[in-house]
C-alpha cells in the first residue's frame, strides 16, 4: 500500500461507521463493495531472442492471465454482497496466455496474431511448442520416440518474423481456470467459449495498446470452429475488424465428420469427404499395388470419383443394384487398399475408425487418426474400430513435458500450479445461435453462416485454409467442401486460399511441412497486413 493509501485508510477509520468525509462532502460507505473476485490476473515478464525466417528477433515474453466474464456481465454493476443480484452472472475465467512482442516495433505496423488449439478442452501447448513459438520441442516424424530428456531448440519456423504472437489457453485448460456459480455452463459451449475469447482479445488489445495493429486469428481443429464464431462476434458485436483468419485442420460442419457417421444415417457426406484421405493413406503405406507415382494426381482422380460416381451411388441407398455396387466397391478398393468384400459388407460406407483399424491388417497394426502416416500395435484385435491414436501416443509426452519445463524455467511462470494440456468436458453445449437467428439451434453444429457473415460484413477479411493430406480427424477434402458452401456472395470466394501438406492433423509435426506452413502463414500476413500499398488479394 502507498503512503497516501495508508493515510486515507486511517482517516476513514476515524469516522463513524458507514460515513466518510471528503472535503466538505459526506459520503456513505456501503458495508461491503462488490463481492471479491474468485480469480485475479497475474503475469511474469522475461526477455528472449529467436532466429526465425532468417531474422534475429529480440522479444519480450509475458506469461500471465486475464480475467473474463460470461455474456451479460456488466462491469458497472456493483451489487451489495449482502443483497446478491441473481441476475448478474457470477462465473468468471482467468485465461492464460503467453505473448511474444518484438522489441522496438511500432504497434500500428506490427501485426499481432492470437493462436489457439481446439478440443474442445485443449490448451494451446501444441501450436506453441510444435509450430510457432520461439522454442520447439523435437519429435520424430512418423514414429514413437524415446522418453525424456526431450530437446528444445531454437524454432527457425517461429512466426515471430512476421507477427507478434499470443498463445491463448481456453477456459479450464492449461493454466486457465473457471470459478463461480454455473461456471461450466457459462464457458463450456460454442457460443460461451467464443464470447470468452472475444472478451480476452478486447482486454488484451487495451492492456497492451494494440487496438490499431493489424490483427489475425490462427485456430487449429476445433479452434477453426471457434475462429468462425469468434471473428464474426469480434467484428459485428465488438466492432473489431480483423485482417485475416488462418485455419489449420478445419471442421465447421459437424455433420460432415468421418468420426462415427453411422449414427446419422442418410447423411453420406462424411464418407465422400473422407475418401481422398483414405487414398492418401493407402498410397503412403504402399497398399495400392503398383503405387501411383504422384500423390496429387491420384488425389485429383479420387476427388472426382468421390463427388461423382461414389456420391451418386450412396444417394441411391437401397435402390443401388448389385452390379453398380460391385463396380463402386472395386473402384473404392483400388483407391483405398481395402478388400472388395469388406467394402461390400460395409455397404460402401467406411468411417474413420474402421479404416484406421483395417488398412494395415486389423489384428496387429492400427494407423493413426490425427496422422495416418503413424501406426502402432492394435489394442483389441476383435474391435471394429481403432481404440487409440498412435500419433498422439507418440508425441504428447514430449510436448507436455517440454512446455512444463520451459514455462517455469524460461518464462518464470507456473510454480505451484498445474498445467492441464487437455481436459474432459462431458457437458459441452453444442447449441449455437447462428447469425440472424433469434434462438440457438439444437441441430448439429454448423458455423458456416458465421464465417460467411464475417466475410460479408468485412469484405476485406482474408482466409487461409491449411490442411494435411494424412488427417482423418478433419479430412482435408471436408474443409474444401465446407469453404465452397459458405452462404455468401460468390465473389468473396476470392478471399479464400487453400494450402495442402504431406502431413497430418498437426501439420507442423512434420519438419518439411512446418517450414511450408510457416512460409505460407508469413506470406499471408505480409500480403494482408495493410501496411503497404498495392497489396493484391490472395490467389488460390
Domain segments of the chain as ranges: 42-76+90-255+425-528, 261-391
DSSP-assigned states of every residue in 216-271: EEEEEEHHHHHHHHHHHHHHHTT----SEEEEEEE--BGGG-SSSGGGSTT--HHH
Residues 6+ apart with CB under 8 A from 60: 45, 46, 47, 48, 100, 101, 103
Alpha-carbon gap, residue 461 to 23, rounded angstroms:
54
**Of 238, 222, 57, the residue nearest 134 (C-alpha):** 57
Q: Which residue has the cell 472535503?
A: 23
Pairing, β 19-22 against β 25-28: antiparallel
Count of C-beta atoms within a 10 Å radius of residue 10: 9
Maximum CA extent, the chain: 97
- Give me the pLDDT at residue 147, please: 64
Task: Give the cell for residue 261.
Answer: 457417421
DSSP-assigned states of every residue in 97-162: EEEEEETT--TTTS-EEEEE--TTTB-SHHHIIIIISSEEE---SSS----SSPPEEE-TT-GGGT
The mean pLDDT values, 10 residues at a time, for the chain of 540 residues are 35 34 35 60 95 96 96 68 55 97 95 96 95 87 62 92 98 96 94 97 97 98 98 97 98 94 93 98 92 93 98 97 97 97 97 92 78 71 45 74 93 95 93 91 92 98 98 96 98 98 94 96 96 47
SS3 state of residue 202: helix
Task: Give the cell for residue 481.
Answer: 467442401
Q: Is the dihedral of CA 258, 261, 267, 271 positive or negative?
A: positive
**Of 344, 278, 266, 326, the residue nearest 306 (C-alpha):** 278
Alpha-carbon gap, residue 359 to 287, rounded angstroms:
8
Q: Which residues pair with 155 in a beta bridge?
A: none
Per DSSP, 535 falls in state P
- Give me the pLDDT at residue 290, please: 83
- Give me the pLDDT at residue 363, please: 57
- Give me the pLDDT at residue 315, please: 97
Alpha-carbon gap, residue 186 to 193, rounded angstroms:
8
Alpha-carbon gap, residue 271 to 258, rounded angstroms:
6
Q: Which residues pair with 19 in a beta bridge?
A: 28
Query: Taking the complete model, does pTM exceed 0.95, yes or no?
Result: no
- Give me the pLDDT at residue 86, please: 53
Cis peptide before 120 (omega within 30 of 0): yes
- Give me the pLDDT at residue 334, please: 96
Count of C-beta atoms within a 10 Å radius of residue 326: 13
Domain 42-76+90-255+425-528 has CATH 3.40.50.300: no
- Give me the pLDDT at residue 151, please: 81
Segment 519-524 long-range contacts (CB within 8 Å, at least 24 positions apart): 520/464, 520/466, 521/132, 521/159, 521/162, 521/218, 521/246, 521/464, 521/466, 522/53, 522/159, 522/161, 522/162, 522/163, 524/244, 524/246, 524/462, 524/464, 524/497
- Give me the pLDDT at residue 29, please: 32
Residue 213 · residue 439 · CB < 8 Å = no
Amino acid at each position: 500500500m502507498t503512503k497516501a493509501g495508508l493515510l486515507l485508510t486511517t482517516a476513514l477509520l476515524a469516522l463513524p461507521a458507514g460515513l466518510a468525509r471528503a472535503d466538505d462532502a459526506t459520503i456513505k460507505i456501503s458495508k461491503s463493495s462488490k463481492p471479491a473476485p474468485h480469480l485475479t490476473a497475474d503475469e511474469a515478464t522475461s526477455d528472449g531472442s529467436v532466429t526465425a525466417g532468417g531474422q534475429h528477433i529480440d522479444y519480450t515474453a509475458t506469461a500471465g492471465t486475464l480475467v473474463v466474464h460470461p455474456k451479460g456481465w456488466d462491469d458497472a454493476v456493483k451489487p451489495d454482497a449482502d443483497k446478491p443480484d441473481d441476475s448478474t452472472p457470477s462465473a468468471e475465467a482467468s485465461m492464460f496466455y503467453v505473448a511474444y512482442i518484438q522489441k522496438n516495433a511500432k504497434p500500428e505496423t506490427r501485426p499481432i496474431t492470437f493462436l489457439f488449439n481446439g478440443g474442445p478442452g485443449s490448451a494451446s501447448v501444441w501450436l506453441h511448442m510444435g509450430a510457432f513459438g520461439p522454442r520447439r520441442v523435437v519429435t520424430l516424424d512418423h514414429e514413437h520416440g524415446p522418453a525424456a530428456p526431450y530437446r528444445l531448440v531454437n524454432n527457425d519456423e517461429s512466426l515471430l518474423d512476421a507477427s507478434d504472437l499470443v498463445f491463448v489457453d481456453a477456459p479450464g485448460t492449461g493454466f486457465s481456470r473457471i470459478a463461480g456459480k454455473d461456471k461450466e455452463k457459462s464457458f463450456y459451449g460454442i457460443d460461451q467459449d467464443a464470447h470468452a475469447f472475444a472478451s480476452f482479445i478486447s482486454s488484451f488489445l487495451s492492456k497492451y495498446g494494440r487496438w490499431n495493429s493489424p490483427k489475425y486469428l490462427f485456430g487449429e481443429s476445433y479452434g477453426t470452429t471457434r475462429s468462425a464464431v469468434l471473428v464474426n462476434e469480434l467484428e459485428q458485436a465488438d466492432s473489431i475488424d480483423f485482417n485475416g483468419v488462418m485455419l489449420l485442420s478445419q471442421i465447421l460442419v459437424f455433420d460432415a465428420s468421418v468420426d462415427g457417421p453411422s449414427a446419422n444415417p442418410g447423411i453420406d457426406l462424411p464418407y465422400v469427404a473422407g475418401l481422398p484421405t483414405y487414398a492418401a493413406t493407402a498410397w503412403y503405406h504402399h497398399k495400392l499395388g503398383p503405387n501411383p507415382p504422384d500423390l496429387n494426381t491420384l488425389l485429383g482422380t479420387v476427388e472426382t470419383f468421390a463427388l461423382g460416381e461414389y456420391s451418386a451411388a450412396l444417394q441411391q441407398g437401397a435402390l443401388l443394384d448389385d452390379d453398380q455396387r460391385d463396380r463402386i466397391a472395386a473402384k473404392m478398393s483400388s483407391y483405398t487398399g481395402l478388400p472388395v468384400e469388406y467394402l461390400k459388407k460395409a455397404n460402401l460406407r467406411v468411417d474413420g475408425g474402421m479404416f484406421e483399424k483395417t488398412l494395415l491388417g486389423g489384428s496387429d497394426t492400427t494407423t493413426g487418426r490425427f496422422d495416418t502416416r503413424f501406426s502402432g500395435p492394435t489394442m483389441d484385435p476383435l474391435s471394429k474400430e481403432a481404440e487409440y491414436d498412435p500419433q498422439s501416443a507418440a508425441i504428447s509426452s514430449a510436448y507436455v513435458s517440454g512446455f512444463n519445463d520451459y514455462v517455469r524455467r524460461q518464462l518464470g511462470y507456473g510454480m505451484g500450479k498445474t498445467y492441464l494440456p487437455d481436459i474432459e468436458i462431458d457437458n459441452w453445449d453444442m447449441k449455437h445461435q447462428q447469425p440472424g437467428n433469434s434462438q440457438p439451434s439444437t441441430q448439429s453444429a454448423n458455423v458456416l453462416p458465421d464465417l460467411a457473415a464475417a466475410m460479408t460484413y468485412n469484405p476485406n477479411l482474408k482466409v487461409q485454409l491449411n490442411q494435411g493430406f494424412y488427417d482423418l480427424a478433419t479430412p482435408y477434402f471436408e474443409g474444401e467442401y465446407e469453404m465452397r458452401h459458405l452462404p455468401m456472395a460468390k465473389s468473396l470466394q476470392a478471399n479464400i486460399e487453400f494450402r495442402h501438406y504431406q502431413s497430418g492433423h498437426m501439420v507442423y509435426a512434420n519438419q518439411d511441412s512446418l517450414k511450408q506452413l510457416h512460409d505460407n502463414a508469413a506470406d499471408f500476413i505480409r500480403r494482408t497486413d495493410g501496411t503497404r500499398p498495392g497489396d493484391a488479394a490472395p490467389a488460390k
